Amino acid sequence: MDPTQIATEFTNYYYNLFCTAREQLKPLYRDQSMLTFEGQPFQGANNIIEKLTSLPFQRVQHKVDTVDAQPNFNGGIFVCVTGALQSDNDQPQRFAQFFQLIPDGTSYYVLNDIFRLNYG
């Protein structure tokens, strides 16, 4: 399957769950997964989900503007996303996020995840 198509489907799935049920993102991560969130490092599915579910907003909505994908030589896929997010009643903020997806049976998991707000 085309890496861009996989990246787009992953992105839709990820941000939809992020918005509706963040704790259900956990199966996408593994013990060896790494998240760097606004410069803070986290390793392992438990620590990553604890961080994501403790973010201090009630509602969040991502508007994805661009999804770029490149294949890796191990069957993985690099995904770069840019867009805007709005949490609670705050002003929308630009963000950029990078994922490395690793094949796992018929699906993929997230080995690397780097998130940054990209202030104007």
Give the whole-angstrom CA distance, residue 18 versus residue 12. Answer: 10
Q: Does 94 bind a copy of itself (CB under 8 A)?
A: yes
Q: Does 68 bind a copy of itself (CB under 8 A)?
A: yes
CB-nearer residue toward a copy of itself: 87 or 112: 112
Give the whole-angstrom CA distance, residue 106 versus residue 89. Answer: 39
Q: Of the ranges 16-24, 51-59, 110-118, which one interacts with a copy of itself (CB under 8 A)?
A: 110-118
Give the whole-angstrom CA distance, residue 18 versus residue 52. Answer: 9
Which of 34, 47, 51, 64 forms a contact with a copy of itself (CB under 8 A)?
34
